[in-house]
Structure formats: C-alpha cells, structure tokens
Amino acid sequence: MAETTQFELVSPEKLLYSEAAEMVVVPGTEGYFGVLPRHAPMISTLEPGVIDIHQNGSVAERIFVAGGFAEVTETRCTVLAEEAQVLKDVDTAKVDSEISDLRDDLKDAKEELDRERIERRIKILEALRAAAD
Amino acid sequence: MATLKDLKIRINSVKSTRKITSAMKMVAAAKLRRAQEQAEASRPYAARMNRMIASLAGAATQAGGPKLLSGTGRDDIHLLVVFTADRGLCGGFNSTIIRAARQRVRALRGEGKTVKLFCVGRRGKDALKREFGDIIVGSVQDVTRKGVAFASADELAAQILKMFEDEDFDICSLLFNRFQSAMTQIITNQQIIPASVPEVEEDSSASESGALYEYEPDEEAILAALLPRNVATQIFTALLESNASEHGARMTAMDNATRNAGDMIDKLTLNYNRARQANITKELIEIISGAEAV
C-alpha cells in the first residue's frame, strides 16, 4: 500500500475518527486543500464544509464539519472540529425544519449575543444542507 | 428510658434512611463512571489544542499578539469563576471549594485588587452571596444536570468573553475541583485569560516536522479564532472535572452514610433486645413473687 497520512478528527466531546488515509481534502478558510503524505506542516482555520477521506483512489468517507482548525504535519492531519456529522447519515428533512425553527427564533431574539449565535447556527446548517444535496 | 415502641420506630426510620443513602450511592457510582468516561474522551481535543497554541504562541508573542494572550496590560480586576454542584449531600465537595474561593478573594483583596465572582452551580452562589453578594457578576445553574454538553461551556465562554471585551476584568481564572479519585479532589486554580501558554512539546513539534508551520490565513487570524475556542475548551474541561469530582464525592459521602446507618441500626437493635429481655425478666419476677406469696 502507498504511503498514508494519519487522519484524526476530534470534537470537544471525543475522538471521532482516527485512520490512515491516502489523501484528505479539508475545507480551509482560504479554499479546500488536499493533504497527502509528506505535506508541509501547516495550521489552518476551517469553514463549514465537507472533509473527503480518500482511500485506494476513491472517496471512502465524507464528513461535514461546522468549522474548526486543522493541523497538518508530514505524517498526520488533525482536525479539531466544533461539530461533525457523517454526510450520508444526515437527515435533510430534519435539517430543513431546524433551519426554519431557528429563523423563527431569530425574529423573537432580542439580545445581540443571542442573535449572533442563531445567525451563525443558521449559516452552518445551510452549509450542511447544501453539502447534503 | 425509651420504650420498646420508640426504639422500634427509631430502628425503622434509620433503616429507611439507609435505603435512601445506599440508593444515592449507587446512582452516584453510575454517574461517576459516565462522567469519568466523558472526561477521558475530551482529553484528546484539549491536548491537541494545547499543542497548536504552543506552536502558535511562540510565533505570535513577539508581535504582541491578541489581548486574550497578552492580557490588557493591567492586573487590577480579577474575575474568579467558581465551579460548585447544584445539589448538596456530597460531603465536603461544596464547602471546600467555597472556602477556597473565600480565601482567594481575601488574598486578592489583600493585594489591593478588585475581585468579581462568577458562580457555576447553585450551591456556590447560595453560599457566597451572603458575604460577597455585591461582587457576584453572574451565575449559571443546572449546567451538569443532564450530563455536560460542550454547548453549555460555549455559552459560558461567550458570556465571559463578552465581559472581557467590555473590559470588565483583566484576569480571569477558574476555581474548580480536579478529579483525582472518588476519595480525593484537588482544588485547582487555573488562569484562562490571559492564556497561559502551555510549554509542552516545545521541541517535539520542531523535531517531528523539522520545519516551522505554515499558517493559513495567518498567525493572528488563527490565534484570534483559536483563543476563544481555547477558553471554551478549558471551561468545558473544568466542568467535566468538577462534575466527576461531585459524583465521586457524593459516592464516598453516601457510602459513609450507609455504613454509619448500619452501625446505628446495630446499636439500636442491641438496645431494643436488651429492653425486651429486661421486660421479660421483670414479668417473670412478678409472676414468681406472686406465686410465692400465695
């Protein structure tokens, strides 16, 4: 087998995913980037988007992350995600209803802090919805 | 001298107390296991976050860096976040942390600083508001009731960061019980703003990669995103540790209570039997002396 990168996906609650992958494509703030073995060390922030894990020349797993950080070294790629979901398990109907619920909340929300939080949440869910299609 | 009936009532009431305390012990033990697992599972995230900050901070400190890292340049106003339980019956858990908070406030005041308090958990607020009611700037309750979610830590962090932006304080530290074992909790005072740079793996990251990291977009932008996350992560860790400690302390306290109730029942049963035997003997004597008199 070809050289691999140790890919790790960590959420605050637990280590979600740890596997050797051929290539990982990560949604960086300045565009998606692919991580192959012996990639130059870098640290990047992430946008809401989809991580593609390539195995044997094809996409083995697609995971949605709601933002976070990626740390790449020559041998591994660590993603600290705020929230992660395997894309094929996403229930689009549920996401839709959650978005519309949040829109209603936004109308009622008075405090600026709440509004900002809800708006951010809607943005994430919309990205998830777009990715799931 | 208590009558037989009184003793019987006493014994029964202690027995039902024992049932309650032993049930609470079992519940605490089950919750403790879950809390410990959760604390265990959250460690990789915190460890990796520390690693990133360590490598970033080295690059950013020369340039001054964001306020969350370098501080406001003053240390006049301290914000102390005190983590207690929402409920009692967990031995010395709440009282030790409250005592530590009092000492800390007095020590800081002694140095001429202004202190503000933020209480997590109802017990802490109830106990501290008598003496320090005027300096409690905020409190939350029932965070740990249904397990600890990162979202609640995030909300707490948002509140604290907002206060920092408004320049309500210069230095923020957390005061919580760190879980050691079910028997012992260690009171920990941890400064989160300005962030203390972890010194771990300073050389290991360099030797591993052999080169410095590239940053995308750039150090400052990443730090600006990473540091608030780090505050939330540290609060989350503190919540988890405090939660595990609470259940551990409760388990130990309820175990002791169950054992004490058992001892008490033994003692009361002995008294009861003695009183019963005395009654029988007395009745026998009465019968015999009655028969002799005839």
Interchain contact B34–A (C-beta under 8 A): no
- Over residues A117-126, the pLDDT tens digits come to 788 888 888 8
- Over residues B141-179, the pLDDT tens digits come to 888 777 788 888 888 998 899 899 888 888 999 999 999
User: B211: pLDDT confidence band, cut at 50, 70 and 90?
Assistant: low
User: B270: pLDDT confidence band, cut at 50, 70 and 90?
Assistant: very high
Mean pLDDT of B18-28: 95
User: B3: pLDDT confidence band, cut at 50, 70 and 90?
Assistant: confident
**Contact residues on chain A for B153, CB-CB shorter than 8 A:** 12
CATH fit for domain A5-87, picks 2.40.30.10, 2.60.15.10, 3.40.50.1000, 3.30.1200.10 = 2.60.15.10
Q: Which residues contact B168 (CB under 8 A, 6 or more apart)?
A: B77, B79, B116, B137
User: B26: pLDDT confidence band, cut at 50, 70 and 90?
Assistant: very high
- Neighbour count for residue A29 (Cβ, 10 Å): 17
Mean pLDDT of B179-184: 88
pLDDT at A113 over 80: no
Cβ contact A6:A24 at 8 Å: no
Cβ contact A92:A129 at 8 Å: yes
Query: Across the interface, do B38 and A11 touch by the CB < 8 Å criterion?
Result: no
**Which stretch, A8-17, A82-91, B64-73, B213-222, has highest mean pLDDT?**
A8-17
Residue B173 is predicted with a pLDDT of: 92
Which residues of B belong to the active site? 90
B217 vs A40: CA distance, rounded Å: 15
Higher pLDDT, B48 or B69: B48
Residue B72 is predicted with a pLDDT of: 78
Q: Which of B251, B191, B268 shows the shortest CA–CA distance to B23?
A: B251
**Contact residues on chain B for A39, CB-CB shorter than 8 A:** none
DSSP string, B40-85: HHHHHHHHHHHHHHHHHHHHHGGG---HHHH--S--SEEEEEEE--
Query: Across the interface, do B216 and A71 touch by the CB < 8 Å criterion?
Result: no
Residue B223 is predicted with a pLDDT of: 82
For residue B212, the distance in angstroms to the closest alpha carbon of chain A comes to 7
For chain B, the structural domain boundaries read 41-251
Is 3.40.1380.10 the CATH classification of the domain at B41-251? Answer: yes
User: A2: pLDDT confidence band, cut at 50, 70 and 90?
Assistant: low
In DSSP terms, which residues pair with A84 in a beta bridge? A65
Mean pLDDT of B8-23: 96
Interchain contact A113–B (C-beta under 8 A): yes
Interchain contact A41–B (C-beta under 8 A): yes
pLDDT at B253 over 90: yes
Residue of B nearest to A70 (CA): B52
Residue B198 is predicted with a pLDDT of: 62
Mean pLDDT of chain B: 87
Interchain contact B166–A (C-beta under 8 A): no
Please state, for a pLDDT cut of 90, what percent of chain B lies above it. Answer: 46
Residue B206 is predicted with a pLDDT of: 44
Mean pLDDT of A128-132: 81
Mean pLDDT of chain A: 86
Residue B209 is predicted with a pLDDT of: 42
Of A12, A28, A30, the CB nearest to B150: A12
Q: Which residues contact B115 (CB under 8 A, 6 or more apart)?
A: B77, B78, B79, B80, B105, B108, B109, B135
Number of A–B residue contacts, CB under 8 Å: 88
